Chains A and B, each alone.
Chain A
């Protein structure tokens, strides 16, 4: 009897250890299978409220890249003003401590380096983004392509984790009927578990674009005049 109860008490930890080992093996294999997978092709994952969201899985990467498209009734300057970042628009978006590190604007070029803190839901903490952004409007088509790259080495570190991998491309094309075609390609590692990031971004895009449309209706954006952007 005693030896049976001793056997049972030794068996339980062994079962737990075996289960944990099996889980560890399954999770590890799943990670490497996911990482190696991918077609490098855009796939539609959401089509809602006039916003089309696509994802792309590249072999070797655990994070998905995303692309979102929509058409908006707005001026080109208003759209670019909303996208390019400014102290006057910082509070309209989710980041905090928005700072302009340097900025140059001429009729042919806009270039700026910013830092902003992005507060994530607990327990993910706050992430800092230091990025360089520039655009030069195409003089013929009037299309504006905003290139955004992470610049984590640009300024000394703070006591907040800083994003190292960010390369977004925003394209705003005037359509001549008072509308602009608005496309965002997002490729970023926010330092959160990739399965979490990959699952929440499509919904976030739809919400963020809806928010952008509302902002574009306000006077601050409707009346924006930019030296570096000419209307069609």
Chain B
């Protein structure tokens, strides 16, 4: 009888002990996995998506937890239309951004510089992200290649504690006009949406594909055709 009572008392203690051990083992495993992932990587581009004329590659750099991405595709459109799409403040609204504002716009040939801000809704439970960016482009007068640099500029606006503002964003578009009227479009994207990196690394290729595919579709609409932008001339 006494040993039966002792066994009954022993069972919850043993369960608690093994439960506590399991938690410790899981925590150690998660922390170890994080550091193994962080230190891994070859710093080389690897194809993760090749669909519908769009090639997306990712790169894992040792020391970083987020992947970098590169996109390449060809588009049949004038350079001006492409630059307009990427730099016009209203494009953001067409893509679902809210509170879109241009803070500053300066044309200082051969460079055009804007500071823009907008918010994007990443859905529940993540919520809004506020973006404050430098949007700058220039064209090589000989090759006609246009470079567009989009960089996080979080201090161009006073702090906002009602929404998470991005601080790491470095996107670089290169538009290379070809003789056949097409443009080779390349994007190198290095950004942190302030999401858990597991989630970000998982979804980013699809997000990149969908957003760029939408660009191809919108470029065929009247709103984005026959546009003029400062200091961009076509190849021919």
Chain A residues in the interface with B (C-beta under 8 A): 21, 38, 40, 56, 58-60, 65, 104, 106, 108-109, 111, 132, 134, 136, 147, 149-154, 157, 159, 161-162, 164-165, 167-169, 185, 187, 189, 191
Contacts and interface: CB of A to CB of B under 8 A. Distances in A.
Given A136-B106, A167-B167, A104 B155 contact: no
Interface stretch (B47-55, B83-91, B187-195, B221-229): B187-195
Contacts of A167: 152-156, 167
Contact of A150 (B108, B151, B164, B171): B151
A129 to B, nearest CB: 12
Best-buried of A109, A169, A187 by chain B (most CB within 10 Å): A109
B47 to A, nearest CB: 17
Contacts of B168: 150, 152, 164-165
Given A59-B161, A164-B190, A153 B155 contact: no
Contact of B192 (A38, A159, A164, A185): A164
Interface in B115-168: 134, 136, 138, 149, 151-156, 158-159, 161, 164, 167-168
A150 B106 CA distance: 20
B1 to A, nearest CB: 25
A58 B113 CA distance: 28
B134 A60 contact: no
Contact of B152 (A40, A159, A165): A165
Interface of B: 24, 43, 59, 61-64, 68, 106, 108-111, 113, 134, 136, 138, 149, 151-156, 158-159, 161, 164, 167-168, 170-172, 188-190, 192
Nearest to A160: B63
A104 B152 contact: no
9 contacts: A58-B159, A132-B151, A134-B136, A149-B152, A151-B172, A153-B172, A157-B43, A157-B68, A161-B64
Contact of B134 (A65, A149, A157, A168): A149
A217 B62 CA distance: 43
Contacts of A58: 159, 161
Given A106-B108, A136-B106, A157-B43, A151 B161 contact: no
B208 to A, nearest CB: 13
Contacts of A150: 151-152, 168, 170
Nearest to B109: A106
Given A132-B149, A149-B134, A185 B108 contact: no
Contact of A147 (B110, B111, B153, B190): B153
Nearest to A113: B149
B170 A60 contact: no
Nearest to A40: B159
B155 A164 contact: no
Given A132-B136, A153-B190, 17 more contacts: A21-B24, A38-B161, A40-B161, A58-B159, A106-B109, A109-B108, A134-B113, A134-B136, A147-B156, A149-B134, A149-B152, A153-B170, A154-B170, A157-B43, A157-B61, A167-B153, A167-B155
Given A40-B161, A60-B164, A161-B63, A149 B153 contact: yes
B174 to A, nearest CB: 11
A57 to B, nearest CB: 10
B46 to A, nearest CB: 14
The 4 closest A-B pairs by CB, nearest first: A153-B190, A109-B108, A153-B170, A149-B151
Given A60-B161, A104-B111, A152 B170 contact: yes
Contacts of B59: 157
Contact of B111 (A65, A109, A152, A154): A109
